[in-house]
Amino acid sequence: MFDFDMLGLAPELDTALTRAGFTQPTPIQTRAIPLAMEGHDILGLAQTGTGKTLAFGLPIVHHLLGAPGKPQPGTAKALILAPTRELANQIAESLRQLTDGTRLRVATVVGGQSIGRQINLLSRGTDILVATPGRLIDLMERRAVDLGQVRHLVLDEADQMLDLGFIHALRKIAPRLGTPRQTMLFSATMPKQMEELSRAYLTDPRRVQVAPPGKAADKIAQSVHFLPKAEKPARLREILSRDLDALTLVFARTKHGAEKLMKGLVADGFNAASIHGNKSQGQRDRAIRAFRAGEITTLVATDVAARGIDVPGVAYVINYDLPEVPDNYVHRIGRTARAGREGEAIAFCAPDEAELLHEIQKLMKTEIPVASGTSPLRIEGGKAGRREGSAPRRPRGGGNGGAATQAPKRRRPRRRRAA
């Protein structure tokens, strides 16, 4: 059995891991940490919720603890870029668990917060800077931060950064970084652009892959309901009513749709809140804190706002609207079954979303078990076509990868206290 104490980490890190309740590394950590500690660039591919933050965080903190000297004013020694405010805050929170009681400082700069306060924070210098690309560029343009001392760069959820167009921001940031440096890129999926990104910014990287890109976590029980769009609200309320105490994350496609859905749930007596781009950072932070504490049991979110939600107790993810980008389905359902726990992902598929479901199943190389309704698609030679009045086809062979005619009944996963 492989334990953290076998990695040769600094004593302060062993203490921090014990204090936080971490004893055994996950597969991505087992494979990535030793290579990163040797100084290699890393291209890490793993399902969301498998412990990528520690996979890059532990080696960086280990190296910084062994490096003499404090950061100079306005500088940072390590830079971690994340696509959303929520993910940046989550990463910083995890890193502070590792650096608590040490001389290392962790700073976070994201949009939606006072840039003046962030300028004052950076004026003192920091060991690790966690940032969203847009706000970091704002600070660079104001000459509030000098990245010339950065020797460790991490691009977390890099595929999402590509989707959001942050590649242009990265092109502005990268030339300002110090050299030589170690660069680590982590992602749950591997689109073609990711290979290009790897070639542009990584030097002789070690590829660490613990699951095929696009594959959902094994402990997520998936199902899909085929139904008209007009029936989605009633079906959602029916499902939520079965387990009112379970933490449930509901995904909507648009900001307006998420807010409307949340208000309707609250009006019907459900304990719900929402996070999306029209919410202030303070509102989003408060909603996530309440959700994590169980004060809010249903959180309605859009894709961008929800990236970075790391709540171990999420029992269910409901795709009220299917995402237009298939990769986002994998990211969405990865909000449940975190760190080896069990979880359930339920999708609603209206007739006009059938092609979206087909692309999602094509990405994952599996069919999602059908909980109710009839699929309008048939798969012939990899193409989707209309199918009138017939039941969904049962794939050959069965097994975990096959689709059942009827999905198992919704059950309440066993809750476990977060480590």
Q: How confident is the model at residue 218 (pLDDT cuts 50, 70, 90)?
A: low
Please compute the mean of the pLDDT values over residues 36-59 and round it to a whole number: 89
Above 70 in pLDDT, residue 198? yes
Above 50 in pLDDT, residue 385? no
Locate tokens 């909000």: which residue?
Answer: 335
The crossing angle, in degrees rounded to 10, of helices 52-65 and 85-99 is 50
Above 80 in pLDDT, residue 312? no
Q: Which fold has domain 220-386?
A: Rossmann fold (3.40.50)
Please compute the mean of the pLDDT values over residues 146-172 and round it to a whole number: 86
DSSP class of residue 316 equals E
CA–CA dist 273, 415 (Å, integer): 22
CA–CA dist 250, 319 (Å, integer): 6
pLDDT attached to residue 393: 38
Percentage of residues in the chain having pLDDT higher than 90: 55
Above 50 in pLDDT, residue 199? yes
281-293 pLDDT, tens digit each: 788 889 988 998 9
Q: For the chain, give the mean pLDDT.
A: 84
Percentage of residues in the chain having pLDDT higher than 70: 84
Segments of the chain assigned to CATH 3.40.50.300: 4-209, 220-386
CA–CA dist 382, 15 (Å, integer): 52
Locate tokens 């990528």: which residue?
Answer: 52
Please compute the mean of the pLDDT values over residues 177-193 and round it to a whole number: 86
Q: How confident is the model at residue 308 (pLDDT cuts 50, 70, 90)?
A: low
Above 70 in pLDDT, residue 150? yes
Would you state the CATH architecture of domain 4-209? Answer: 3-Layer(aba) Sandwich (3.40)
Q: How confident is the model at residue 325 (pLDDT cuts 50, 70, 90)?
A: confident
Please compute the mean of the pLDDT values over residues 122-133 and round it to a whole number: 96
